[in-house]
Every structure is written in C-alpha cells, then in structure tokens.
Structure 1
Amino acid sequence: MPTTRRSFLAGASLAGGLGTLPLSALSATGMTGPDKQPVFGPKLGQALLSRNENPYGPAPSALQAISETASMGCYYTDRGHERLTAMIAERHMVSPAQVVIGDGSTEILCAIALAWGRKGAILCPDLFWDTTVLYGERQGVATIRVPLAADMNVDLPAMASKVGEGVSLIQICNPNNPTGMLIPAADLRRFAADVAPKATLLVDEAYNELSDRPDDNSMIDLVRGGADIIVCRTFSKIYGMAGLRVGYAITSEANAKLIKSHLMSFGGNLAGVAAAIASYNDTGFLSQSRAAVLEGRAMILDAVAKAGLKALPSQTNFVFVEVPDADALRDAMAGRGIAIRGAYGSWKGYSRVSTGRLEDVARYAAALPELAGELWG
C-alpha cells in the first residue's frame, strides 16, 4: 500500500468512530462500560473480523456533517431525507418516487418481507443473509428455500423451477453473504427475464460496490427498463456507516409506495442522513475504502493458502474459508483475541472472516496457519 494511502487509512481509522478512540478519550465522553471497555466497536485489544464492518469509515466528509448537524438532533429529518432521495435518484437516473430510504437496508428488507409475504411465499436460497426473511417467517410469512448448487453458488435454474408455487417474491443477495460469491451478471439477467414477469425479484446488493465491476453487476438498469425488480443498497459497508443505519431501495413507483407503507421508522436518523448526504459522492474516500478491503481480502487469501486450506471466490469484504470445523477455529481465534464467525447452521465446514483494520487482518493471517496446524495437523 502506498504511504499516502496508509496515512489516509490511519487517519480515517482514528476518526472513524468512538470505538477507535483511545480509552482516555472514551472515558471523557462516558463511552465506556463498568469494565472500562468501549461501548461501541471492538473490545480493547480485540481484532474484530466477524461482522463485515468497515472500520475505515465513516468518511471524513461524513464525520464533518455529523459534527455540524449534531445540534440539530432535536429536529426531524424531512428535508434531509428528501435531499438524499434526490441524490440517489439522480445518480441512478430514476424518479425520486422510485427510491425508498430506511434505517439501514434491514428495515426495507423487513418491510418487503411483510408486504409481499401477504401476497404469497418468498422464494430464496437456503444459505444467504436471511435475517429479514426470518423476520417475515415470525410474522407468518411462508418461505420456500432452495439448496445451493454443488459449487456453493445460488442455483438459479432450481429456483426458477419453483416460481409459480404461490411465490410472490424471489429474494437473492448478490454478492451472496456468507459465501462471498457473485452470480455472473449475464446469468442473473437471464434469470430475471424468466422470473420477474411471474413474481417480484428482490436483489440485495449490499456488497455491490466491492465487486470487480459494480455497475455491470447491478440490476438497477433493469429497474429503469420497467422490470418488476427491487434493488437494495446500504451505507453500512463501503461507506463504513453500519451504526448510523441508512439504506435504500430502487424499484418501480408502485413497489416503492407499497414498501413505504410497511416501514416502521419516521424519517430516519438525522446523523445518519447527514453523513449519507455528505459522503454519497465522496469518490476519494470510496476509492480508499475499497482499496483497503481488497488489500485485506488478499491478505486473508494468502493466509488461507499458507494454511493449506481453500476458500470460495469472494467479491465482498469477507471470505468463506473451507475448514474441518468452523466453531473450533472460531474458539481458537477467540483465544488470541481475534473474533471471526462460527458455523452457519449446518454449514460447519465453512468459516467466515471479514476484512477490517489491516493490522487486525495481519493478526488473523499470522494465526491461521498456526491454528490450522494445531487443530487439524
């Protein structure tokens, strides 16, 4: 990494949130618990690589906006909400009426689960970021889950064969979480042409900006073309704003109106909306942020190879590593102060590790070959 970029990222790390400030500064603001640990972010000395966060954000432009608007926290966000909506609509060449903003994309995805769940079942892969689908299930929504293909990618032909069984919504995460794999754009477009006339297609593009060709991989142009598609995006990943809770969807005006009728918040978080407005077009920060993720991902893949392991191809800020026992590796890493994910349900042979601060990724990279040898010889 060039010195200039290291300097930028180091500065962004220090400015990026209370969780990265020295303990003395946190104590001065009351942001420590009874155990003197920070209230937000990693614990003291912990390498936090389990949550797909971007610790190099928010951008300096976002932090400045938060500072300038903090005293306005007594006001609702109406006009800021309208401004952010207009900015998103302008970039993607859609009407503002086609944009939905929520408290993170999670709120929007939950609203979609409820709205379309009243019309029929949600069709989805059996391994993807299904928190919002599970929310729908708890409210009585029916789901149809389709096993992944043998290569761990989403099995589009198998999913297409299930459309028509009372399905109102088809939900896909692309790139997928937790596998990190990207459905090739041409394949997803053919799938959309086949299924979107029969049911609404929801594509969660939370990690799109981290893929090799973000614009080519997105389905937003199909929305502009009139297809029955909803695309969801978030400020949580490349923008480093996970705790500020801003996400959005782009779809038809009719779909947007239906989604808005099921949202639970009122206008959003003022600090988050201000930060989103300030950093949405901050191309300098976005380039630096993406570069840090790619460098961290390369470090992880190099460590995987040195450990004699394999990983699925990733287009995200995390890697799905093939291991004999994901929970055993999680526990062993925790013993060294490194937090990664354990097994996802029955997928006990895959361990997800996120990129984070490069110095924390370096700790994981050093530990993985050693622990793999200790655990599995």
Structure 2
Amino acid sequence: MPVTTRRSFLGAASLVSGLAAAPLPVLAAAPRGEPDFGPKIGQALLSRNENPYGPAASALRAISESAQMGCYYTDRGTEKLTAMIAERHGVSPSQVVIGEGSTEILCAIALAWGRKGAILCPDLFWDTTVVYGERQGVQSIRVPLAADMSLDLTALAAKVTDGVSLIQICNPNNPTGMLIPAADLRAFAASAAPKATVLIDEAYNELTDRPDDNAMIDLVRSGLDVIVCRTFSKIYGMAGLRVGYAITSQDNAERIRAHLMSFGGNLAGIAAAIASYNDTAFLNQSRAMVLEGRAMIMDAVAKAGLTALPSQTNFVFVKVPDANALRDAMGERGIAIRGAYGAAWRGYSRVSTGKLDDVARYAAALPELAQRLWG
C-alpha cells in the first residue's frame, strides 16, 4: 500500500490548486442555425399544448441561482416542494408524490395497478402512459366517447368489474378540451372508487373557468380511493423542466413511489417549481394569454364556417373534413398543428394556443385554407 508523505501531499495539493486557478477553456461559438429547443426559425408552434410565456421570471431566477448546486441531489428541495403542495391542498406530505413530469407518475401507476388488473379508460384521451403500460403487458379496456365527444361516465361505470384495477380519466380531456361537470365526476368517483382506484389527470385544471370547483382533490381528503395528478408543464410553462405530482392516500403514494424510474428529480425543475408555485401574478397572466388565444381561435373557426368543441384548456378541437389535410396545408405556411388522432377521428383537428402572434397567423390562415381545401 503506498505511503502518503508530506511532500507527496503538498505536491497533490499544488496540482489541485493549479487546476482551480487555471482559466476555463474558451469555447467556439456554435454556428447559427435552428435552435436546439422550441419552434424552428419562423415556425408557429401550435401543436404541443405548451405555454411559451413561461417559465415565470421567478422560476428563471431560481434556475440561475441553483445552477451552481447542480452537482448535488435534490432531496431537501423535493421535500420542500412536497410540503408546499401538501399544505395548499390540506393533505399530509406522505400523500404527495413528485415525479419527472406527471408522465413518470402516470407510467408508474400504469405498471403498479396494471399488474393487478385492467386499466379502464375512454378510447380517446391522452393515453401515452396507458400505451406504455400495454407495452409492458398491461391490459386496457377502452370505452367509446358519447355522441357529443364527452366522456361517457355511464358507459365507463358499466364496465367496472372485478378485473378492473384502475379507471383513468383526463379532465379536462385531451385532445377534446371538454370538461366533465364537477358534480357528475364526483358522483362517478364515489360510486366507482370502492371497486377500483380512480385516477384523474388534471393537467389542465388551472386553465378551467373554476379550477377549485373542478378539482377532485377533496375526494382524496374524504378517503376515497382516488389519485389526482397535476403538472408544472402547462400553465407554469415548464414542459421541458419535467416536474409533476400526484395527491392520493399514503398507501397509494408508497405504491407509486415503488415504481418511479428516476431518483430525486431535476434540480433546475424543482427549484423553478418551488419559486413559481405561488406566483399568482404569472399564473394569472398566463391564463389571460391562453383565454385570449382561445378566443382568437374560436373566432377564426366561425369565420371559416367550421365548428369546435367547447374547450376549458389551452387547445381547441376543431371539426374539419380532414385533419391531416389541414395539418399539411398549415405546415406549408410554417404553422404546426396536430393531425388526426387515428382514422376514427380524422374529422377533428387540435390546435394549441401558443404565442398570440402565432395564433394570429393560424387565425388568418384558417378561413382561407378551409375555403381552398373544402370549398
């Protein structure tokens, strides 16, 4: 075993000191071109339900100030955010689960509950995490929407059997943008929760007309077997920072944590979430921008002689003869919107609110393109 002498120790110390004093290398400027993140140059990005007015200034300051601590894990920060969420919603911190976006939490739930039984869900909703579970062998049972494109709670209730372990609902729904009336959803959950866990994805709750009334967290406080998921990706404008959370019973929370795939969280995201969680000025401004953009879209829809579903989100589901044709035509003008969600829904086109200047481009193009495509 080598012996450390005073001379060798001082030599090593001098080396470390020299490294610390050495100037950092000067990096050559990257060539100008398309940005690594966000819209391409000149593109109106209206396809992904992002809030391009975020993150809040409070979040950006927190990211900058915390960057030098990026060598450390996020334990205390995650504990602080957990406590903040728990205090606001009147639950114990042990009932709150933080994840890398709500996506990670929803995937964990799909695995944890999918190993015990089937996932019952609508046939059109944000089902990416259910599809993830299906790839791991989880079974899903899909129920058609009602004729008006709303979630058919009666049809869902009729499918709740002993073989169902989880009922998953997105409210407001994505991609339709439609909100289930709070009283109807509460009655459904009260009836279904004794038979299977009810999971309610409330990613867009803060954008609804009455967020507190439409929230289902009171069902968790009342002791029902309910999980509510939320995210910082939408109204908080932090989609790329990946922070989400679930509120549920302590037993459910422990079960979810056992299936999470990350460790500790993203330090920049956690810092930003702590700083902006109670930033009501930013949240109010974001909501105002969304509502203005949504009104612009609805006005353009009417001018184009089209109709759209009633939306309580930062996107609109527009009824068109061919969603893919409209997507392609908009794409030729540098405007990105969604195409059809499968053959069954070719007649609906989803457009997000985005920056108001970009929404204005869509609003100006829609009547002209509708006339050109469909007369």
1:320 is the counterpart of 2:345:
no
33, 36, 39: which one aligns with 2:33: 36
Deviations 1:14-58 (A, max 9, x none): xxxxxxxxxxxxxx996x7x7710000000000000000000000
Query: 2:293, 2:60 → 1: CA distance?
Result: 24
Read off the aligned partner of 2:184 and give its amino acid letter: D
Query: Could you tell me how far 1:282 is from its partner in structure 2?
Result: 0.2
Read off the aligned partner of 2:371 and give its amino acid letter: G
- SS in structure 1 of the partner of residue 121 of structure 2: strand
Query: 2:59, 2:287 → 1: CA distance?
Result: 16
Query: 2:292, 2:238 → 1: CA distance?
Result: 20
Instruction: Kindly report which structure 2 residues correspond to 1:51-200, keeping only aligned pairs within 5 A, or say none.
Output: 51-200=48-197
- SS in structure 1 of the partner of residue 246 of structure 2: strand
Partner of 1:360: 358
Query: 1:169, 1:237 → 2: CA distance?
Result: 25
- Structure possessing the higher radius of gyration over alpha carbons: 2
Partner of 2:336: 339
Instruction: Kindly report which structure 2 residues correspond to 1:229-308, keeping only aligned pairs within 5 A, or say none.
Output: 229-308=226-305
- Segments of structure 1 that go 5 or more residues without pairing to the other structure are 1-27
Query: 2:190, 2:276 → 1: CA distance?
Result: 34
Partner of 1:349: 347
Q: When the two structures are superposed, what TM-score results if normalisation uses the length of structure 1?
A: 0.91
Deviations 1:160-219 (A, max 9, x none): 000015000000000000000000001101101110010000000000000000010010
Deviations 1:203-260 (A, max 9, x none): 0000000000001001000100100000000000000000000000000000000000
- SS in structure 1 of the partner of residue 372 of structure 2: helix
Read off the aligned partner of 1:81 and give its amino acid letter: T
Deviations 1:90-115 (A, max 9, x none): 00000000000000000000000000
Deviations 1:97-143 (A, max 9, x none): 00000000000000000000011000000000000000000000000
- For these two proteins, the number of residue pairs brought into alignment is 348
C-alpha RMSD of matched pairs (Å): 1.1
Query: 1:224, 1:193 → 2: CA distance?
Result: 13
- SS in structure 2 of the partner of residue 172 of structure 1: strand
Q: When the two structures are superposed, what TM-score results if normalisation uses the length of structure 2?
A: 0.92
- SS in structure 1 of the partner of residue 292 of structure 2: helix
- SS in structure 2 of the partner of residue 231 of structure 1: strand
Query: 2:350, 2:221 → 1: CA distance?
Result: 35
Identity %: 83
